[in-house]
């Protein structure tokens, strides 16, 4: 406690300097955030489209460690941290494209409700279903 540079007697960890061995975990957390942003925006913005579900490996032991399964109707993809960790922007674009290719847009529209709509999904709706 004699060290004047320490403001607390307790050890601290900084998110800017992850503990050794935890890089994959932090990359997985970031990957989950990206997938959730895309899929929640899809759910809150669009109606009349194929339902989408996500399942992280922390809730399904049949999945590889640090992975997320995305299910869209009869289609499914498993995203792993080894493939997508640290590539959030690329994952966002790839996942949106993957969804767009598999959704039936014939009955699509803007979801009702007062929630903020995702501008990316609104743009896709205008492109895929211009009659709406």
pLDDT digits over 64-79, tens only?
A: 999 999 999 999 999 9
Residue 2 scores a pLDDT above 90: no
The pTM assigned to this predicted structure is 0.81
Distance (Å) of CA 72 to CA 3, 13, 18, 96: 56, 39, 34, 12
What is the per-residue pLDDT across 85-110, written as a single tens digit (0 to 9) for each? Answer: 889 999 999 999 999 999 999 999 99
Give the integer Cα–Cα distance in Å for 32 and 26: 10
């Amino acid at each position: 406690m004699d060290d004047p540079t320490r403001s607390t007697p307790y050890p601290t960890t900084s998110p800017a300097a992850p503990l050794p061995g935890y890089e994959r975990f932090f990359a997985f957390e970031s990957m989950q955030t990206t997938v959730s942003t895309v899929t929640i925006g899809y759910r809150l913005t669009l109606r009349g489209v194929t339902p989408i579900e996500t399942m992280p490996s922390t809730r399904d032991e049949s999945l590889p460690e640090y992975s997320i399964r995305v299910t869209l109707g009869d289609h499914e993809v498993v995203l792993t941290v080894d493939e997508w960790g640290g590539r959030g922007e690329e994952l966002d674009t790839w996942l949106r494209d993957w969804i767009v290719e598999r959704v039936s847009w014939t009955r699509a529209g803007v979801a009702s409700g007062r929630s903020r709509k995702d501008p990316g999904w609104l743009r896709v709706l205008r492109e895929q279903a211009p009659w709406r």
